[in-house]
Structure 1
Amino acid sequence: MKILQDLSMLINATMPVYAGDAPVCLEPHCTIAADGVNITAIKNATTHFGTHIDLPRHIFADGASLDDVPLADLCGPVQIIAIEHPTTISVEEVARHRFKPGEMVLFRTRNTRDGLLERSAFCHDYVYLTPEAATYLVQQKVRLVGIDYLSVDPPHTPALPAHHILLGHGVLILEGVVLTDVQPGHSTLLCLPLKLQGVDGAPVRAVLVEG
């Protein structure tokens, strides 16, 4: 198996986090000088930092958690789509593409072109998914939707419409996807989350592979 691209954010103290979240901190827990080994502590990390998966439990109290989702549901055929609109992923643009039932989709937007995931500060002006586009994707029976910034919904929108539409129909959400060197087209995605029990989300290592 050949890895074509790593789609995962680099975890460090300068990575962007969602507005209001504390910066991720990597600091020594043990050192060779004091303890004979180096062990690093990750502080201020939630289940929704860096490249991460959102599960239905994120929005719904009785929704599926990570351990309810087979790992196979996070791996398989994926379609990468370039979005030209500078503000939203609209149903008009999405409907130009055909989807196979069970396919995954990643959206490469202005967020990638402007390098938003490379900026330390949270950017409020990012491209997001409209409710109409989310509904269309549900109707097309895709199983995962990924975006190249930290949320599929616009910032400071408590209703989280795209989250509710997608997760309410069992469509998983992959956020913080690094698509800088990825071209539109079809590929195979492996999305491997930490094996956490009962959680609403988890950091993942997401890669495109050959075959």
Structure 2
Amino acid sequence: MDSDTGLGEFRYLQNAIDEGDFFNGSGLKDLSAHAGTHVDSPGHFINEAYYAKKGVHQLDLDILNGPAVVIEVPDNTNITAAALEALAIPPGAVRLIFKTLNTKKKLMTQTKFDPTYTAVTKDGAEWIVAHPHIRLVGIDYLSIAHYADLIGPHIVLLSEEIIPLEGLVLEEVEAGLYTLHCLPLKLVDSDGAPTRCILMP
């Protein structure tokens, strides 16, 4: 976040055929565990959870994979409790993915960070927690939490071990029901991890 240049060059060739090696072998450098599409673990905002080693390797794959609903959020609102109450969220939905104005603005394709992104407010997070069948919430920008209060919504969600799935690219995805396949890198004890996520009709 707060970058004008995006990720920059994080992949480089450690070994190169052009330089006499037998193979091309890439390395990664200066890549945040919260870059691009990624998940958060409780240790991201809760220090006790970090030292208790509640990292991404302990996230439940049964929650990260399964039926999901993509919900279109009106352009004129953040994801507040009132907005959630007005949305047509199917009863018993476990995985919610919010498609917002962020997608129309193509924020995930921009290198410069945009602090005006749409996200979940603290009272929105409290609404989610009050519906205990919800175990995963996804968003189409780099943070599930609104920039005006990054800490509050994260702590509300992570305290209940609801998985935030951030940085989704939803330009080709319509609202509706899907099967989510999401496998984060197994970074032991990490507070977050990049992940490849696929939505299947």
TM-score range, shorter chain: 0.7 to 0.9
Q: Is the 8 A contact 1:134 1:165 kept in 2?
A: yes
2:24 pairs with one of 11, 14, 38: 38
Could you say which residue in structure 1 is the equivalent of 2:186? 195
C-alpha distance 62-27 of structure 1, shift in aligned 2 (>3 A): same
Q: Is the 8 A contact 2:71 2:89 kept in 1?
A: no
C-alpha distance 73-24 of structure 1, shift in aligned 2 (>3 A): farther
Q: Which has the higher helix share?
A: 2
C-alpha distance 169-102 of structure 1, shift in aligned 2 (>3 A): farther
TM-score computed with the length of structure 1 as normaliser: 0.84
Q: Is the 8 A contact 1:24 1:45 kept in 2?
A: no
Alignment of 1:59-74 (within 5 A): 59-63=45-49, 64-74=54-64
Could you say which residue in structure 1 is the equivalent of 2:85? 95
C-alpha distance 22-80 of structure 1, shift in aligned 2 (>3 A): closer
Structure 1 SS opposite 2:190: coil
Residue 24 of structure 1 deviates from its aligned partner by 4.7
Could you say which residue in structure 2 is the equivalent of 1:86? 76
Alignment of 1:46-61 (within 5 A): 46-61=32-47
Could you say which residue in structure 2 is the equivalent of 1:144? 136
Structure 2 SS opposite 1:98: coil
**1:121 and 2:104 are equivalent in the alignment:** no
What are the ranges of 5 or more consecutive residues in structure 2 without an aligned counterpart? none
The one-letter code of the counterpart of 2:107 is L
Q: Whole-Å Cα distance in 2 between the matches of residues 160 and 151 of structure 1? A: 11
Q: Whole-Å Cα distance in 1 between the matches of residues 120 and 16 of structure 2? A: 45
Q: Which has the higher strand share?
A: 1
The count of aligned residue pairs is 192
C-alpha distance 204-108 of structure 1, shift in aligned 2 (>3 A): same
**1:166 and 2:157 are equivalent in the alignment:** yes
Q: Whole-Å Cα distance in 2 between the matches of residues 156 and 100 of structure 1? A: 30
Structure 2 SS opposite 1:62: helix
Could you say which residue in structure 2 is the equivalent of 1:19? 2
Q: Deviations over 1:119-157 (max 9, x none)?
A: 111111111211111111111120011110001223364
Could you say which residue in structure 2 is the equivalent of 1:14? none
Could you say which residue in structure 2 is the equivalent of 1:184? 175
The one-letter code of the counterpart of 2:143 is S
